[in-house]
Structure 1
Amino acid sequence: MMNFFGKKTEPGKWMRRYTIYLVLVTIAYLIVHFSSNIPKRQLVNFNQAEVDFIVAVKVDTTNKNAQKEIIQSYLFHTGYPKSLDFEELWLIIEELDSTELRQFLTKYEIEESSPFWLTGNMVFFEIIFWSWFGVLASLLFHGTEAIRKGEFDIKEESVHWAKLLYSPLVTIVLILSLDALSNNDHISIDGFDYWLIVLSFVLGYYSRRAIDLLDRVKDIVFRSSSPKDTTNVSNHQLDNFQSLSIEEKKRILRLCKTNLQKEWIGKYDGLHSVKVAEKNPSDWRLIFIVDEKKELVDVQNLVPDFIPFTVDNNKYKLPTAVKGSGKASNDVYNPNQPKTICSQNPKKPGCSISRLKTDLNDTGSIGLKVWREVNGQKKYFLLSCYHVLCSIEFKQGIYDFDKSKETNFDIISPSKKDGGSQVLAKVSEGRYTDFLDAAIAELINPSDLEENISGVTSAPIGKISVTTEHEEMYIIMSGRTSGKQYGEIIEYSTFVTIDGHTTYDVIMTSKMSKGGDSGAIVVDTLGRLVGMVKAGDNEHTYLIPIERILNYLNINPCYV
C-alpha cells in the first residue's frame, strides 16, 4: 500500500486527497469539540430495577423521613450524577401514589456529563461529523479494494463528493424519522445517548443503503389507506420464485450468488464455480459446478434442492442443480500440437510464449501488445498471465513479482516446449491475487511484436466492460494451443477455484481454451477487448476482465 500510495497515478492522487480530507475533518471536529464552552450532556433514565426499588420503598415504608433517607442513600450508592436535584425529585415522589410514581419515574430524565453532545442543538453537530467519518471510512475502504482489484475509476469521484454532501442530510432525516416513529409521532432527538454516534457513523458508511431506507420511510409517510394498496403489498411479499419474470429470476439468482459464494466455496467439496442457467426451458436455477462427476453423489447430498434467500423483504426458495465439469486448472501447456507457434518475427498476440529458464510445461500465449508512459517516453510491453510470465515465482508461492530479486526474467517466443530460444522481452511487473492474474514484460525490440491478433487479422479497436447485457454475446479467442476459437459469454461475473485458490469476479464463457492458451486475449465480433484467458474446465473458460488488468497495471492497449 505504501508503494502504491506514493505513485503519481490517479488512484494514488485520490488516496492522498481523501486521506487529507479525513485528517481535516478530524481536526475540525476536535477543535470544535474541545474549544467550545457549550457543556456536553446526555440524558439518562432510571432503569427498571431502580424504579421497582423506589416504588417498593414508597409502598412498604410508612415513615416519610425514612423513605427519603433510604431512597437518597440508594441513589447515591448507584452513582447518579450530581446534576440530579434530589430535593425536587423528592417533592414529586411524596405527592404521587405507587402507580403514578412508576409511570413518572419510567419517563424521568436526568442530565449528566458526556464526552459527546447528546442533548440540545449540538446533537446535529455530532450527527453531521460522525456521518462524514462514516462516508470517508467507506470511501477509503472500498476505494482501496477497487484499486487492489484493478477496478478503480476516477470518474466515480463525483459520486464520492455527492455522498459527502447528501449523507449528513439523509442521516439527520432518518434519525428524526426513527425517533418520531418510536415516540408516537413526537420528535425528540435527546433520547439516543451513545447510539446516536454509532447510528450516524453506520448511516454514513452505508450511505447507499441509507437512501434505500429513506425510500422505505417515504412509503410509511405517504402510505395509502386504500385496502387495494395493502393487498398489493402483501401479495408482493408472498410472491413465489417461479411466478417471477425470467429477468427478475436471473437478477435474484445472481444476487444470491454474489452474496453467498464465499460461504459455498468453503462448504461444498469439489465446487469450483457457480453459474445462473436454465436446467430446462424457463427453469432458471443456480448450477453448482464441481470437479468430477464421481463427486456428484456426495456433493448432491450437501447442496440442498433449494437455497433460502431474502431480497427486498421477500423470501424465496431458489432452486439448485449440480454439474460435473472436470477439474478447473490454469490453462498452461497441452500436449496437443499447438496451432500458433510463431517461429518467425514479428510475433503476434496469440503466439506461444514462456520464461527462458522454466519447466517445459509452463507454456502460454501472448495476450496483447501494450504501452505505458515512463519518464515522458512510451515503453512497449507484452501482456500475459502471471502464472505464465512469472511461472517460476508462482510455483514458489510468490504472487508479486519483484524484479530486484530476480536474475532470470527473460521471455522467449516460441516457448521452451515449442523449441524456442529467442528472447523477446523481460518480465517487468506482475501480480496474482483474488482478483488478478496478469503480468507484463518489456519488449526488447517493440517492432518484434505486432498489434494485430493472430487469426483475427486486426488490432483491437476498443474495450468493453462486461455486464449482464453482454451474456450470450459471441466472442473470439486467439491462443497458442487452440488458435482462433469462437464462444459466448455465459456468466458476466462468477468465481473459479483452482487448487484451493479462488479468483473472484471472472467472466465465464463456453469452452474455448485448452492448456497453453493462458494469457490469450478475447475480443467481441467488433474487435473490442473483453478479457484474458486464465483457466478452464471441461465445459467452460474463465477470463480476467480486461479493464481490471489495464487499470491495475496502468497500461494501454495498442489500438488501431
Structure 2
Amino acid sequence: MSNISKIISKYKNDLFNLNHVVGVGYGLKEKNGRKTGEKAIVVLVDKKVPQHRLKSKDIVPFSVDNYRTDVIEIGELKLQDMRTSRLRPAQPGVSIGHYKISAGTFGALVKDKETGDLLILSNNHVLANITNGVDDRARKGDPILQPGSYDNGNKPDDVIGYLERFIPLKWSSGSGNVCPVAAAGEKILNFILHLFKPSYNIRFTKSSGANIVDCAVARPANEKAVSGKILEIGEVKGVKEPSVGMRVLKSGRTSGLTQGEVKVVSATVQVKMTETEQATFEDQFITEPMSKPGDSGSLVVDRNNNAVGLLFAGSEKATVCNRITNVLDSLNIEF
C-alpha cells in the first residue's frame, strides 16, 4: 500500500487536471461489473463519457506506472447538508418541526381521505410537540418550520405549513399524582418507609394507557412548496405489512439513507419521551439500528418502495416503528 500511496501522490495532480475527474485512489479493477482481483489505480469521475467524445488530453491513461487504471462514476461530490437546509420544494427525508421543538424528519406527503388535500406526515413529537391533546404544547394551526429550529429554521421565513391534526400521546409523568386518595396513600407509605429507609420515597404515577401510533399531519402553506418524492428513495408505490426478516429503508434528517432488517413484530415497548415522562406503545415493529436522533418521523419502506412504517424511536441497538396501516387509519389519510 505504501508504494501505491506514493504513486497516487505523485500523479494525482495530473489526473485532477483531466476533465470530469473528481478523485483518485486504490481499488480492484472491475470488468462488466465484476471485480477481477487485479490491483488498480481507481480514477473517480463525476460522469463517464465515451472515449471518442473526450479530448485526447482528458482521456484517463491505460496505466499509471505498473498499475492498470479503472474509472468509476460517482457523480458530483457535495457537502451533505441538504437535509438540514431550507429546501423548496421540501422533500420527505429533510429537517422539519413544530416551532417549539428542535428538529425531526418530514416523513411523507399524504392525502386526506375525505378532502384529497395534501398533508405533511411525521410524528406527533415532531409536528405537535409531544402533546397529549389537553396541554398547551401544541394546537391546530401552529407553525411548522422547514428546516426545524435546531437547523436555524425560524418564523416567518421558514414556515412550510401549519399543524392540522394529531393523535394525542398518552404518557406517564414522574411529577406526582394529584388524586387525593393516591396522595394520602403516598404519605402513609412514605411515613412507614422512612422509619427504615429515610432516603427513599414512594411515588404513585397514573398510567394513561398504551399508544399505537406517534403521528401527526400538517397542512402545507403552499402545495407547490412540497414534493412527494422521498430524498434518495423516490415515490411511495404502495403499502405493505412488516414481517420478520424483511429488509427496509428510511431517509432521515440525521443519518440519511439507511437500511436494516425487521427483527420483531407485534411488539410492546416502553419509550422514554422526556427526562420525566415515558409512554407505552403496542403493536410496533423493531428493526436493526438504522436511525439517530433527528430521524424521527421518517417513512420506512421495503425495497420496492412500499410504505411499511413510521419511525419514531430507537437506540444504538434498535429502531422502533409504528405500523403504517395504523398511522393511515388513525389520521384518515392515504398515499
- Aligning the two structures, in what range does the TM-score lie when normalised by the shorter sequence? 0.5 to 0.7
Aligned pairs for 1:75-474 (under 5 A) are 340-356=83-99, 358-359=100-101, 362-374=102-114, 377-391=115-129, 394=130, 398-400=131-133, 406=139, 409-421=142-154, 422-431=158-167, 432-433=169-170, 434-456=211-233, 458-466=234-242, 470-474=243-247
User: Could you tell me how far apart the structure 2 residues matched to 1:342 and 1:460 are?
Assistant: 23
Deviation at 1:406, TM superposition (A): 3.8
- Does the 8 Å contact 2:248/2:300 carry over to 1? yes
- Does the 8 Å contact 1:339/1:481 carry over to 2? no
Give the residue type in structure 2 aligned to 1:451: G
User: Could you tell me how far apart the structure 2 residues matched to 1:450 and 1:368 are?
Assistant: 9
After superposition, what is the alpha-carbon deviation per residue over 1:323-381, rounded to whole angstroms, capped at 9, x for unaligned? xxxxxxxxxxxxxx96612422001111101122x14xx3100011011155xx42111
User: Could you tell me how far apart the structure 2 residues matched to 1:338 and 1:539 are?
Assistant: 26
Alpha-carbon spacing, 1:462–1:488, altered in 2? closer, same or farther (3 Å):
same
After superposition, what is the alpha-carbon deviation per residue over 1:475-510, rounded to whole angstroms, capped at 9, x for unaligned? 111000011001110012212212331111111000
Q: Which residue number in structure 2 is paired with residue 484 of structure 1?
A: 257
User: Could you tell me how far apart the structure 2 residues matched to 1:498 and 1:486 are?
Assistant: 22
- Does the 8 Å contact 2:140/2:165 carry over to 1? no
Alpha-carbon spacing, 1:497–1:407, altered in 2? closer, same or farther (3 Å):
closer
- Does the 8 Å contact 2:139/2:163 carry over to 1? no
User: Could you tell me how far apart the structure 1 residues matched to 2:310 and 2:140 are?
Assistant: 27
CA RMSD of aligned residues (A): 2.1
Q: Which residue number in structure 2 is paired with residue 517 of structure 1?
A: 295
Relative to its length, the structure with more strand (as a share) is 2
Alpha-carbon spacing, 1:408–1:379, altered in 2? closer, same or farther (3 Å):
closer
- Does the 8 Å contact 2:103/2:147 carry over to 1? no
Q: Which residue number in structure 1 is paired with residue 305 of structure 2?
A: 527
- In structure 1, stretches of 5+ residues that fail to align are 1-336
Deviation at 1:400, TM superposition (A): 2.6
| Identity within the alignment, % | 29
User: Could you tell me how far apart the structure 1 residues matched to 2:87 and 2:310 are?
Assistant: 24
The alignment partner of 2:308 has SS state of: strand
Alpha-carbon spacing, 1:447–1:402, altered in 2? closer, same or farther (3 Å):
farther
Q: Which residue number in structure 2 is paired with residue 188 of structure 1?
A: none
Runs of 4+ in 1 over 4 A off after TM superposition: none
After superposition, what is the alpha-carbon deviation per residue over 1:529-555, rounded to whole angstroms, capped at 9, x for unaligned? 010111001200000010000011100
Give the residue type in structure 1 aligned to 2:103: T
Alpha-carbon spacing, 1:509–1:373, altered in 2? closer, same or farther (3 Å):
closer
Alpha-carbon spacing, 1:522–1:406, altered in 2? closer, same or farther (3 Å):
closer
- Does the 8 Å contact 1:338/1:480 carry over to 2? no
User: Could you tell me how far apart the structure 2 residues matched to 1:522 and 1:407 are?
Assistant: 26
User: Could you tell me how far apart the structure 2 residues matched to 1:407 and 1:530 are?
Assistant: 27
After superposition, what is the alpha-carbon deviation per residue over 1:204-244, rounded to whole angstroms, capped at 9, x for unaligned? xxxxxxxxxxxxxxxxxxxxxxxxxxxxxxxxxxxxxxxxx
The alignment partner of 1:349 has SS state of: coil
- Does the 8 Å contact 1:401/1:430 carry over to 2? no
User: Could you tell me how far apart the structure 2 residues matched to 1:550 and 1:371 are?
Assistant: 10
The alignment partner of 2:294 has SS state of: coil
TM-score, length of structure 1 as denominator length:
0.35
Give the residue type in structure 1 aligned to 2:148: S
Asked which structure has the greater CA Rg, the reply is: 1
Q: Which residue number in structure 1 is paired with residue 334 of structure 2?
A: 556
User: Is 1:502 equivalent to 2:256 in the alignment?
Assistant: no
- Does the 8 Å contact 1:363/1:388 carry over to 2? yes
TM-score, length of structure 2 as denominator length:
0.58
User: Could you tell me how far apart the structure 2 residues matched to 1:507 and 1:388 are?
Assistant: 20
User: Could you tell me how far apart the structure 2 residues matched to 1:407 and 1:380 are?
Assistant: 16
